[in-house]
Amino acid sequence: MPASSSAPDVAIEFDQVFKSFGERSRKHLVLNNISFTIPRGLTTVIAGGSGQGKSVTLKLILGLLYPDSGQVLVDGVNVPSLNKRDLRRLRTRFGVLFQGSALFDSLTVFENVALPLRERTKMSEDEIYRKVLATLDQLELIGHEEKFPAQLSGGMKKRVGLARALQLEPEIILFDEPTTGLDPVMTREIYQLFDSMQKRLGYTAVIVSHDIPGVFDLADQIILLNKGEVDIFNDVNEIVHSEKPYIREFAEMTMGDLFTHPEKENCHS
């Protein structure tokens, strides 16, 4: 992994970021002076209610949106200041798993997973075939290569999305609401899969989710977005025992039992 000029253990840094949406009279401030860091090689969960700017945070990291002010640094490089070519180069280091998986619906599972290799590398078709099949095997998708996304279940789509995101061996993988639309059993399976793949490959994982507290099992760091403000925790206990009234209110609303009986936290891990 390339060494960062300033802090080698920090993969991503937000420095005093403001972001608003809408035009003129209907302007809505989503991120209000946000600052945080995401450590390299670990899993960071960005949590918060709907409309709190979680997906916006991911799009800022990818350079799909620009902040109104402030810096979004990836390895010390300010993403909004990059030109088109440098931004494209930076993006090759990311893998992204979208909320709706964003699979190309006119391509088969195999073609979807092979697409980044065909477009971004000079590998031969034989090498691509072997590499794609190896990944599909790891994610238990063998036998489904010729199916189209519309023929897959929600969980399988997520796995194909992850297989595609892993093809270029990215240093950072961003997950946008990875368990939306999945049942609790499937959600748990997907989390276990994310956890094992992250431990095996050692990439930096950034998971945006409103699946609280389920997603906290994976987290080495939790970033809580609430009304444009940010709070950082190292584990779920810190959230449960926080003194801040709005954090307590958030925990009570989203965690229910776990908040009132913190000893149950062990059941989730």
Partner 1 sequence: MAETIKQQNEVPFLLRPCVYLGDQVLYILSDLGWMGFFFFSSFAGMFRHPFRFREFVKQLRFIGAGSIAVIFFTALSSGMVLGLQGYYSLHKFGAEGMLGSAVSLTLIMELGPVLTALMVTGRAGSAMCAEIGIMRISEQIDALECMAVDPFRYLISPKLLAALISVPLLTAFFDVVGIFGGYLAGVQLMGVNSGSFFSGMQQSVTNHDIRLGVIKSFAFALLLVWICTGRGYFVQQIRGAGFGAESVSKVTTQAVVLSSISVLIFDYLLTAVLL
The residues that touch partner 1, with contacts defined as CB under 8 A, are 18, 20, 23-25, 27, 29, 32, 62, 64, 68, 88-89, 91-92, 94, 96, 98-100, 102-105, 115-116, 119-120, 164, 168
Q: How far is the CB of 92 from partner 1 (least distance, A)?
A: 5
Assigned token pair, 252: 């009570």
Q: How far is the CB of 98 from partner 1 (least distance, A)?
A: 5
Strand partners, 69: 18
Please tell me the distance from the alpha carbon of residue 214 to that of residue 211, in angstroms, as a whole number.
6
When the beta carbons of 68 and 137 are compared against partner 1, the nearer one is 68
Q: How far is the CB of 94 from partner 1 (least distance, A)?
A: 6
List all residues 6 or more positions away from 11 whose beta carbon is below 8 Å from its beta carbon. 4, 38, 39, 40, 41, 74, 75, 171, 172, 204
Q: How far is the CB of 221 from partner 1 (least distance, A)?
A: 23
Please tell me the distance from the alpha carbon of residue 251 to that of residue 233, in angstroms, as a whole number.
13
Q: Environment class of residue 22 by beta-carbon count within 10 Å: exposed (0-12), middle (13-18) or buried (19+)?
A: exposed
Q: How far is the CB of 252 from partner 1 (least distance, A)?
A: 28
Q: How far is the CB of 161 from partner 1 (least distance, A)?
A: 9
When the beta carbons of 106 and 192 are compared against partner 1, the nearer one is 106
Q: How far is the CB of 47 from partner 1 (least distance, A)?
A: 21
Given a contact cutoff of 8 angstroms between Cβ atoms, the answer to whether 139 and 173 are in contact is: no
When the beta carbons of 116 and 155 are compared against partner 1, the nearer one is 116
When the beta carbons of 66 and 104 are compared against partner 1, the nearer one is 104
When the beta carbons of 96 and 206 are compared against partner 1, the nearer one is 96
Q: For residue 178, is the peptide bond before it cis, meaning its omega torsion is within 30 degrees of 0? A: no
When the beta carbons of 10 and 168 are compared against partner 1, the nearer one is 168
CB-facing half-sphere around the CA of 18: CA atoms within 13 A: 6
When the beta carbons of 48 and 70 are compared against partner 1, the nearer one is 70
List all residues 6 or more positions away from 179 whose beta carbon is below 8 Å from its beta carbon. 158, 186, 187, 190, 191, 209, 211, 214, 215
For 136-173, letters b (16+ CB in 10 Å) and e give: bebbebeebbeeebeebebbbbbbbbbbbbbbbebbbb
**3 state DSSP class of 147:** coil
